[in-house]
Structure 1
Amino acid sequence: MNLSPLRIFVHGASGRMGRALLRLAPERSDLVLVAAATRAGAPLPEAPGLPVLATSALDAAPVFDLAIDFSLPEAFDGILGLCRRRGVGLVSGTTGLSEAQFEAFNALSERQAVLWSANFSIGVAVLRALVQRAAAAVPGWDADVVESHHVHKKDAPSGTALLLGAAVEAGRGRAPHYASLRAGDIVGEHLVQLTGPGERLELAHRATSRDIFARGALEAAARVARLGPGRHDFGALLLAEPRA
């Protein structure tokens, strides 16, 4: 039986990730973009003809099945509220959210399928699992997470660094030290360093294209749409079944 494509609403479409989503979504036959939202609501060259709403007018959005959000903390409440009112799921990669915003996100998960991740790279999902195992094997070693990003990234440490740091803590029971670098146009580099007497173990991931994150978010959206209410984990989704 052929299922209808999942109708996607992209929130934060004028950012780097949003533009990549608009450009790459047409590669998938199981997804269809129905609208996008930016602060100004101006048309976007990556998706000619796609309706683009201002973030102040989200209630004018057409019918959609799931929203993908890559915006800013100050815009997150708007899309969360729209998904709550529409009764649809939400996949978000917005970093820097407050504790109250995560509480509201968790509340939505009681009614809808939602997923938040600081990083939608398949490689980072694998790295996270490796880091936890390595940290558990050498609990007495020093642990550091070093992350590098482009000069325009605002939050530090990055959400991915905190995600990897949580894996370190889960493995050895103590949080690592963090270091952040903002330089040039670095897409994203993360190094977890475990250092013991006379030796050092390094686990690293380097992204050279932002497209990997957009493709991961689109894959997450397609999988989350098949699930029931709950706050789902990107890594767990990837490891649950083989990728096509």
Structure 2
Amino acid sequence: MSTRIGIAGISGRMGQMLVEEVAAAGAALAGGTRRTPPATSSVPLFADVAALAAVSDVVIDFTRADTAAAHAGALMATGTPWVLGTSGLSAAEEAAVAEAAQSIPVVYAANFSAGVTLVLALAEQMGAALPAAQYDAEIVEMHHRQKVDAPSGTAIGIGRAVARGRNVDLRDVMQSGRDGHTGPRETGAIGFATLRGGQVVGEHSLLFAGSDEQIILSHRAFDRRTFATGAVRAALWLKDQPPGLYTMRHVLGLA
């Protein structure tokens, strides 16, 4: 029997791509949620994620950060695996996701592309190999003008990877939104610069700047479809996993 995949926020741009990728992967579309149901629809639509989860083997969720805690509770109640790609979650919302992962399998990733997954793995290795006292780490990202959170979830993920490599907590060393007379750069800081404009899908660069050399690791996404393809791949992998909090590194066999 084909895996039944539900899509939270099915009417959005990402939701429509997910519909296509579910079909391309040979899975079954269980249906989706949308805030304003149309008069007619070719796919089953549900008023909330709990109803969708009840008929799905896995739910893919690219909705809003402020729905994460409620969705966590609903999916725990139905025991449905959850692929979560929403960025901009608060500490409390991330805690709700972690709590859900004690009962159900969850893949939570800021970015589902294979390329970014490899960038994250390399960022951690580079953080460990390039001492903070000798190499300043800076992350530059650019997205389309409609994006509502900054820095992007992927940029935060890259920063966390560097911080893990350096055995520090990103919250203790993060510098974002520099403005005015900031004084000299703090040793060990991980800096973030955010650009917004046009319809840029996503660009991220990690820079390590030393006194004698500079290393740059970059990724550019040209089509959002890469995220949809990765999310469906994660869903097909996740349905057979035990409860736990997973990333795309697990899906790709890198963890």
d(CA) in 2 for partners of 1:149, 1:78: 27
Question: Which residue among 11, 24, 44 is the counterpart of 1:14?
Answer: 11
Q: TM-score, normalised by structure 1?
A: 0.89
Deviates more, 1:12-21 or 1:122-131: 12-21
d(CA) in 1 for partners of 2:142, 2:39: 32
Deviates more, 1:108-117 or 1:118-127: 108-117
Confirm whether residue 100 of structure 1 aligns to residue 114 of structure 2. Answer: no
Secondary structure of the residue that 2:253 maps to in structure 1? Answer: helix
Offset at residue 157 of structure 1 (A): 0.4
User: 2:107–2:248: 8 Å Cα contact kept in structure 1?
Assistant: yes
Q: What residue in structure 1 maps to residue 138 of structure 2?
A: 144
Secondary structure of the residue that 2:205 maps to in structure 1? Answer: strand
- 2:201 maps to amino acid: V
Confirm whether residue 115 of structure 1 aligns to residue 112 of structure 2. Answer: no
User: 2:68–2:97: 8 Å Cα contact kept in structure 1?
Assistant: no
* % identical aligned pairs: 37
Q: Deviations over 1:170-193 (max 9, x none)?
A: 223445100000110000000000
Question: Which residue among 76, 85, 88 is the counterpart of 2:68?
Answer: 76
Structure 1 residues 39 and 89 mapped into 2: Cα distance closer, same or farther (>3 Å)? Answer: same
User: 1:113–1:224: 8 Å Cα contact kept in structure 2?
Assistant: yes
Question: Which residue among 130, 135, 145 is the counterpart of 2:127?
Answer: 135
d(CA) in 2 for partners of 1:228, 1:74: 26
Offset at residue 194 of structure 1 (A): 0.5
d(CA) in 2 for partners of 1:77, 1:112: 14
Q: What residue in structure 2 maps to residue 87 of structure 1?
A: 79
Q: What residue in structure 2 maps to residue 158 of structure 1?
A: 152
Aligned length in residues:
232
| Gapped regions of structure 2 (runs ≥ 5) | 169-187
User: 1:131–1:168: 8 Å Cα contact kept in structure 2?
Assistant: yes
Offset at residue 53 of structure 1 (A): 2.5
Question: Which residue among 22, 25, 28 is the counterpart of 2:25?
Answer: 28
Confirm whether residue 52 of structure 1 aligns to residue 66 of structure 2. Answer: no
User: 2:7–2:15: 8 Å Cα contact kept in structure 1?
Assistant: yes
d(CA) in 2 for partners of 1:43, 1:187: 32
Structure 1 residues 219 and 177 mapped into 2: Cα distance closer, same or farther (>3 Å)? Answer: same
Offset at residue 59 of structure 1 (A): 4.3
d(CA) in 2 for partners of 1:170, 1:133: 9
Confirm whether residue 39 of structure 1 aligns to residue 35 of structure 2. Answer: yes
Question: Which residue among 223, 229, 236 is the counterpart of 1:209?
Answer: 223
Offset at residue 49 of structure 1 (A): 1.0
d(CA) in 1 for partners of 2:144, 2:80: 33
Secondary structure of the residue that 1:5 maps to in structure 2? Answer: coil
Structure 1 residues 43 and 16 mapped into 2: Cα distance closer, same or farther (>3 Å)? Answer: farther
Offset at residue 60 of structure 1 (A): 3.9
User: 2:201–2:223: 8 Å Cα contact kept in structure 1?
Assistant: yes
d(CA) in 2 for partners of 1:89, 1:43: 30
User: 2:68–2:96: 8 Å Cα contact kept in structure 1?
Assistant: no
User: 2:50–2:75: 8 Å Cα contact kept in structure 1?
Assistant: no
Confirm whether residue 229 of structure 1 aligns to residue 243 of structure 2. Answer: yes
Deviates more, 1:207-216 or 1:104-113: 104-113
d(CA) in 1 for partners of 2:164, 2:254: 20
Deviates more, 1:184-193 or 1:10-19: 10-19
d(CA) in 2 for partners of 1:79, 1:67: 10
List, as ranges, runs of 4+ consecutive aligned residues in structure 1 with deviation greater than 6 Å. Answer: none
Confirm whether residue 193 of structure 1 aligns to residue 193 of structure 2. Answer: no
Offset at residue 74 of structure 1 (A): 2.3
User: 1:43–1:51: 8 Å Cα contact kept in structure 2?
Assistant: no
- 1:83 maps to amino acid: L
Q: TM-score, normalised by structure 2?
A: 0.85
d(CA) in 1 for partners of 2:130, 2:69: 41
